[in-house]
Amino acid sequence: MRWKAVIPISVILAGIFVFFVFFGNKAAKGMIEGIGSGIVGAKVEVGKLRLSLFSLSLELRELQVASPSDAWKNMFQAGRIAFSLNPRALLSKKFVIREMSVADMASGTPRKTSGKLPEKPKPAKKKNALLDYGEKLLSDEFAKLPVSDLDSSRPVLT
């Protein structure tokens, strides 16, 4: 074993652990909302999220998935979604689910806010005088080239 790598690896692992403890729930909530909104095409909102590495559990509260066709209705709503794995079973390469539940599920419920995603602004086209000049030169040269008439079999020169 290379002892020179123990301290840097320990520092990196400690940094990841501290990040997870302080920002893990917020980061997971943002990922679920962002990825879910991208997949559905409407807002996905999570009221509260609790993620635990020690017990390998995830709990979502007040999940709302807006309908892409009607922004003022929920396609799916759940009061609580819980999922947990047995951590000891993972050591023997098995997935044992201890809990998997959905409570207070509803569909088609009205929303208090719009579920429409905000429009992304289109990037403005940058003007570049050199590129515009080059484009004009190319289009002038292209106009001088002989062009074949697709309707007839003989070429037409301009």
Residues 106-115 have pLDDT tens digits of 998 999 988 8
Per the confidence metrics, is the pTM higher than 0.85?
no
Using DSSP's 3-state secondary structure scheme, residue 100 falls into: strand
Angle formed at CA 74 by CA 63 and CA 23, multiple of 5 degrees: 25
DSSP state of 19: H
Q: What is the percent of the chain where pLDDT is above 70?
A: 89
Residues 53-67 have pLDDT tens digits of 778 899 999 999 999
